[in-house]
Chain A
């Protein structure tokens, strides 16, 4: 398989994730769609690393995974805090930053 197919898959996954971030209202699902976008970027990184035969892209993909894990950690903590304060778990209703 040529590298182009992998890049096409990564582009499709990234834009699907972007549509999900725009469309969905549940912050949990918004985080999931953010994961989709990060994974699309990861796939492109690894495809390009394979193309050049160097490991830099793979290292960068691992760093992206670390950042994604941190984002999940903070995001889920925020969702749990929102739920504890009896606020609506809904992106459209959470308009103000005041707790």
Chain B
């Protein structure tokens, strides 16, 4: 029974990996990677790594892949094929050069696979062909969360703290890389001078986030003339050229 599951999950993992490499649309590549991760977690379960399998499904296939899907949706999963011809022409001065490069990559990958198989299976390790160490089920057995947690908090405490620090650095780096530079973008710039009911209610200079980010403090600048003046000017300007429009407009946008 476990052999059947192992074959199914192994074939699923390899098929998912092939899908990631072959599929053109990045969105489908992400979905193929999700399938790959799920079947890999089945393999982890068969290897008695329950906690790692759970982390694989929850964190990897759940959270990280959602991040990928968001970025694919943001930048728009575009087909690569229109670029291939263009770049091939620029590199060689003629048609698509992708075929020979792709063949070379396949040869390299095949060589790497043979090398890895020799290194992993072809060595004289006798233990590789065994079924693994004896396994005793129980509350504190091999691979359970209790077992992993105890290892993390005793023998691998330094590794654990290092991993948490690495995550912190990565979070700060991602904010620095992808965050907004100017504080407020141009679309928000137009909205800045617009009066909202909240501006009338709250006293000036009481530290909203907008005041902290923007260059002007609310207590220096009085926003009311800035909001009213353009409307007044346009009303004056529209009075001159066209009579029938100007007759209709001053009551609506007048200097009230």
B102 contacts partner chain A, Cβ-Cβ < 8 Å: yes
A29→B25 CA distance, assembly (Å): 9
Q: Which residues of A contact B56 (CB under 8 A)?
A: 65
Q: Are B105 and A23 in contact (CB under 8 A)?
A: yes
Q: Are A55 and B167 in contact (CB under 8 A)?
A: no
Interface contact tally, CB-CB below 8 A: 242
Distance of B136 from chain A, by nearest CB (Å) = 10
B133 contacts partner chain A, Cβ-Cβ < 8 Å: yes
Q: Which residues of A contact B113 (CB under 8 A)?
A: 11-12, 15
Q: Which residues of B contact A71 (CB under 8 A)?
A: 170
Q: Are A33 and B148 in contact (CB under 8 A)?
A: no
Number of interface residues of B (CB under 8 A): 84
B219 contacts partner chain A, Cβ-Cβ < 8 Å: no
A88→B226 CA distance, assembly (Å): 40
Q: Are B47 and A23 in contact (CB under 8 A)?
A: no
Q: Which residues of A contact B163 (CB under 8 A)?
A: 62-63, 66-67
Q: Which residues of A contact B147 (CB under 8 A)?
A: 55
Q: Are A16 and B105 in contact (CB under 8 A)?
A: no
Which segment, of B171-179, B196-204, B231-239, B241-249, faces chain A? B171-179
A88→B86 CA distance, assembly (Å): 13
Instruction: Choose from B2, B128, B156 the contact partner of A4 (Cβ within 8 Å).
Output: B128
Q: Are A18 and B112 in contact (CB under 8 A)?
A: yes
Instruction: Choose from A36, A44, A58 the contact partner of B120 (Cβ within 8 Å).
Output: A44
Number of interface residues of A (CB under 8 A): 74
Distance of A3 from chain B, by nearest CB (Å) = 6
Q: Which residues of A contact B52 (CB under 8 A)?
A: 42, 46, 58, 61-62
A93 contacts partner chain B, Cβ-Cβ < 8 Å: yes
Q: Are B43 and A43 in contact (CB under 8 A)?
A: yes
Distance of B253 from chain A, by nearest CB (Å) = 38
Q: Are B121 and A51 in contact (CB under 8 A)?
A: no
Q: Are A51 and B130 in contact (CB under 8 A)?
A: yes
Q: Are B80 and A15 in contact (CB under 8 A)?
A: no
If A9-B14, A32-B30, A58-B49 touch, does A3 touch B132 (CB 8 Å cutoff)?
yes
Which segment, of B32-40, B186-194, B209-217, faces chain A? B32-40
A1-42: CB near B (< 8 Å → 1, else 0) gives 111111111111111111110111110110111011001001
A88→B131 CA distance, assembly (Å): 50
Q: Which residues of A contact B71 (CB under 8 A)?
A: 28, 76, 79-80
Q: Which residues of A contact B (CB under 8 A)?
A: 1-20, 22-26, 28-29, 31-33, 35-36, 39, 42-44, 46-47, 49-56, 58-59, 61-63, 65-74, 76-81, 83-84, 88-90, 92-93
The 3 A-B residue pairs with the shortest CB-CB distance, nearest first, are A53-B133, A19-B109, A70-B170
Q: List 30 A-B contacts (CB under 8 A).
A: A1-B2, A1-B131, A2-B129, A2-B131, A4-B128, A13-B13, A16-B109, A17-B17, A19-B105, A19-B108, A19-B109, A20-B20, A22-B105, A24-B21, A25-B84, A28-B26, A28-B29, A28-B71, A51-B128, A55-B148, A58-B51, A72-B64, A72-B67, A74-B170, A76-B71, A77-B175, A80-B74, A80-B75, A80-B177, A83-B74
